[in-house]
Structure 1
């Protein structure tokens, strides 16, 4: 029989499957990438038991919990847990603190002749471990920041690197007002947990870790302050590309490659994408000013019509060039002024790529 564990590092390094017995509302606030929510108590039951605990103490709460666990409820829970155990015999279960709910889940499983170990300290201990690791790895890991204006290819270089922390992939967002990917962003705690786990894994081998220069927010996900500080002082590689080349890359990524995401739209892919682009432009309306916003919106609508009529995205290029020079470049230059790390290399995308291959086996 496998024993309970407090080896949190092993759990995260090996992506060990975890049965999360907390209520769905707790899971939604924050969990771990390898966890699956199969609660002992649903949200309403948890609320009732918590109220009883405050009113009459622990034993009264336990008694209420058992009354709520009708034969039908127990059968439903056991079926879900048994399926998880069958699929993940190497896994563990946990609740918030590794206490009553974990041990009750174990007890119910054992009554069905299933022994399954729990994580001592539960979610809270694992979360604290990851927060401690985040602090430690940000202080210890040698980071190299890939920097440059919007559209210069930073993300592509990060995705090619063997040792990189891809913040935009974790956040499921490309980091600008137009950065939605069609996938829901993770909760803030989930984002932080994944960043910490990825850094922990990267720390198992020596060498620098590449990271894309980002502002504080990637969509709604905020970079942990300790990571912001580490990035601010880290050495940089600057990617310098002409504005038209950057605009063409952006149109490729945000229009051509985004179209398939709208394939099932009733109004058609081009119209649905065009509507999203207009909504995104509206998010920076105040910063652009009323007159300039209306001019760019008219230009955007013309490009949307051209895309729908001919399938060509070329009409977006001058619009994107205007947005880069009039808005995004100034914003990024302000961000660059806050950076303190030395510049290791600067050049075009192809020159940076060649340098990285030569010096870091990208």
Structure 2
């Protein structure tokens, strides 16, 4: 078996399956995207072996582990045969120690070629300390309903590098962000997904990202990325109110009214009792345009406050009455030109 540093380990992950041999609970909390979980121990078994190691020493813990794993070795080989018709595997545990080495021995005995991740999953998480440092990130900002996500999608179609953080988070970033979305990943796994997407891109070429808060719903951006974004240049979209109202009605109008009502109540203190009462009445009568207007009153005021803090970083303002995403994307590229913005932040 051979060992590889994290970037080399990940470089061939599309060709060779990645096997995570940690416990199901560890895997659920966060894992390398695309990895298959073939746990050496169950959650309870791992806890018990840990206690034995702590109180009775390594030798007894190893023997206890062998007693547990021995009867299931054939089943583990069956699992890997169902996952991988080829013979090359990439394997990791938490620190790149006994668990991954033991599983690699088993699979190599069964005819597979195994590569282990140096430093294990811990080294993968350590990528966050360096991956964002040299990137040219350009933020797309704008008031709620400006269609920033759609603009990112159009920029990608036009050949630009983009990262859709809200898509990775399964959340649209506001009090209404969970409406119509799947359950959010764990915070740790969200950050893994973010790392995975950035690793796919050319670090020497500009990357467009939506201007986000430190958190998107219940998950938080990697701190290193958030610090990078706080110093990155901003392209400010300025879209007429009517176009933004219509986009909100289109995006949210077909969702369950009770779910929308619960979201309105989340911002009751900031929106104000009278406005909340009016919004709920409009929602009940099906007047979604009036609901959207009331909500934008709150969100626009909040956004103007945030905008004041970053006005020195705004490198371009793009105004539009209709806010067509493709037109906005073309205008952004025309204004930016084809030059990578090295040193712009």
Normalising by the residue count of structure 2, what TM-score does the alignment of the two structures yield? 0.87
2:327 counterpart of 1:355? no
**1:41-76 Cα deviation digits (max 9, x unpaired):** 0101101111111111111111111122352x3333
2:98 counterpart of 1:100? yes
Q: Distance in 1 between matches of 2:237 and 2:152?
A: 12
Mapping for residues 38-187 of structure 1, pairs under 5 Å = 38-71=38-71, 73-86=72-85, 89-128=87-126, 130-134=127-131, 137=132, 139-161=133-155, 162-180=160-178, 181-187=180-186
Mapping for residues 223-234 of structure 1, pairs under 5 Å = 223-234=221-232
> Deviation of residue 360 (structure 1)?
4.9
Question: Relative to total residues, which structure has the larger strand share, 1 or 2?
Answer: 2
User: CA 1:334 to 1:13, structure 2 compared with 1: closer, same or farther past 3 Å?
Assistant: farther
Moved more, 222-231 or 40-49: 222-231
2:270 counterpart of 1:287? yes
In the alignment, which residue of structure 2 is the partner of 1:7? 5
8 Å CA contact 1:13–1:200 kept in 2: the answer is no
CA RMSD of aligned residues (A): 2.1
Q: Distance in 2 between matches of 1:338 and 1:225?
A: 19
8 Å CA contact 2:231–2:313 kept in 1: the answer is yes
2:194 counterpart of 1:195? yes
8 Å CA contact 1:13–1:197 kept in 2: the answer is no
Question: Relative to total residues, which structure has the larger helix share, 1 or 2?
Answer: 1
Q: Distance in 1 between matches of 2:11 and 2:173?
A: 28
Match of 1:316 among 266, 288, 296: 288
Q: Distance in 1 between matches of 2:303 and 2:111?
A: 60
**Aligned to 2:117, what secondary structure does the other structure show?**
coil
Q: Distance in 2 between matches of 1:345 and 1:292?
A: 31
8 Å CA contact 1:148–1:238 kept in 2: the answer is yes
**1:242-279 Cα deviation digits (max 9, x unpaired):** 212101111212234xx5xxxxxxxxxxxxx2222122
In the alignment, which residue of structure 2 is the partner of 1:309? none
Q: Distance in 2 between matches of 1:89 and 1:171?
A: 34
> Deviation of residue 179 (structure 1)?
0.9
8 Å CA contact 1:176–1:219 kept in 2: the answer is yes
Q: Distance in 2 between matches of 1:13 and 1:68?
A: 34
Gaps (5+ residues) in structure 2? 339-345
> Deviation of residue 40 (structure 1)?
0.6
**Aligned to 2:107, what secondary structure does the other structure show?**
helix
8 Å CA contact 1:151–1:250 kept in 2: the answer is yes
> Deviation of residue 336 (structure 1)?
1.4
Normalising by the residue count of structure 1, what TM-score does the alignment of the two structures yield? 0.83
User: CA 1:14 to 1:66, structure 2 compared with 1: closer, same or farther past 3 Å?
Assistant: closer
8 Å CA contact 2:128–2:224 kept in 1: the answer is no
Count of paired positions: 325
In the alignment, which residue of structure 1 is the partner of 2:341? none
Gaps (5+ residues) in structure 1? 260-272, 304-314
2:302 counterpart of 1:331? yes
